[in-house]
A and B are shown apart, each in its own frame.
Chain A
Amino acid sequence: MRYHTPSSFEDASAIAAAATGVTRFLAGGTDVLVQLRSDLVTPDDLIDIKQIAGVRDITRRDDGSWRIGAAVSGAELAEHEALIAEWPGVVEALELIGSTQIQARCTLAGNLCNGSPAADSVPAMIAAGATVNVVGPEGTREIAVEDVPTGPGMTSLRPGEVVSAVNLPARGESGGDAYLRFIPRTEMDIAVVGAGVSLSRDGDTITAARVALGAVAPTVLLVEEAGAALVGSALDDMALAALAKAAEAACRPISDKRGTVEFRTHVAGVLARRAARIAYDRAGV
């Protein structure tokens, strides 16, 4: 295994593009090191992105949108009060990952690019309308987070492409988001179902909403019908029932020791409703 510490994303991408064997980028390493140590994946080239300038920066742009560097850890995100005030759901989703020790290392980009359908921060990012900046051999591009995962452990990133930052849109007035997951314990477990909701209000009326579900399909899902079920409503019981129905209809889960198809489908509807309530209340203040 060769260990690289490039000082720019262009160099990181060039190393990856030139590599012929197994290649991994190293952000917090909480997936890469586990896979390395259990002999699941031993990279020939491991490209540590943490020495690139600006990778730990969290910046609010003049238009109110946010840029979160690819190596910002869960602990760093959770200490950023201005970001928490605008995007509490995204922050709480990343904060759910692992323990204090894992928090010091885990990143949004790593959680996304590892490609797990149960990745906790991904539904929250998709609901928020987040995008990632990608640097590759053919230059840079910006992709919506929902277009990154393509299957368990797989992404749409092309050979040599690396995520340089995560972008969150301007929150705007009267917006709120939330993420909830179901696990059988209170800490340190993998989501059986996860639900992220982000919405905007004009008075009591919801003007825009996005809903995303985790662990109920081979990839995290953006459920457009579930978001549409909320728009125009004041989150009354009918809208909540329509939301739950749309969420359930989108589920294509597996049965395993963590939950059956029926259980996961039911919980998806329940969590979508609860997350919508929290997002709605947050949007109201």
Chain B
Amino acid sequence: MIHVSTTVNGDAREFLCDPRETLLDVLRDRLELTGAKEGCGTGDCGACTVVLDGRPVCSCLVLAAEAQGHEIGTVEGVSDGEDLHPLQRKFIEHAALQCGICTPGILVAAKALLERDPDPSETEVRYWLAGNLCRCTGYDKIVRAVLDAASEMREAT
């Protein structure tokens, strides 16, 4: 077993893991953070998206051992306690989810986009989220929710 010290959503966390375990496995099974989902396990669907040092990654393609000394952000850290993030509120308002399995990954990826670019175009949103598959919504509502959240966040600052 490998001993790993890392930061998850701002909190110092330690765990023991097998070298073959992925970050997704450890988040879900050892750290009880079940927000990140396993869709494909091969980097294609984005349901497992978390941020690693500020960049969205597929946690199914990161070994848990690689998290040593790095900062991880998951969907559990997107809201401020009970206060939903504007993206989360807009997803509800626009009905940008149905079954919801893609939603945690999309929220994490979209938040990383808006931190980089507070005013993305629709095309930029679509390309940024091209690695987040959604089987239910047809994407339109997701894209609109992200653009609406971005505009609200710009007005707030």
Contact = CB atoms under 8 A, between A and B. Distances in A.
Interface of A: 1-3, 5, 26, 29-30, 33-34, 36-38, 42, 46, 48, 50, 73, 75, 98-102, 104-105, 186-188
B2 A29 contact: no
B131 A38 contact: no
Nearest to A104: B55
In order of increasing CB-CB distance, the 3 nearest A-B pairs are: A99-B131, A104-B55, A3-B19
A34 B44 CA distance: 10
A283 B116 CA distance: 31
B61 interface: yes
Interface stretch (B62-70, B85-93, B135-143, B147-155): B62-70
B90 to A, nearest CB: 20
B4 to A, nearest CB: 11
A102 to B, nearest CB: 6
Interface of B: 2, 19-20, 22, 41-44, 46, 49, 52, 55-58, 60-63, 65-66, 68, 109, 112-113, 127-132
A34 B63 contact: no
Contacts of B20: 1, 36, 42
B130 A188 contact: yes
A41 to B, nearest CB: 12
A181 B20 CA distance: 34
A279 to B, nearest CB: 24
Contact of A102 (B19, B22, B131): B131
Contacts of A187: 127, 130-131
Which of B49, B60, B61, B132 has the most chain A CB atoms inside 10 A of its CB?
B61
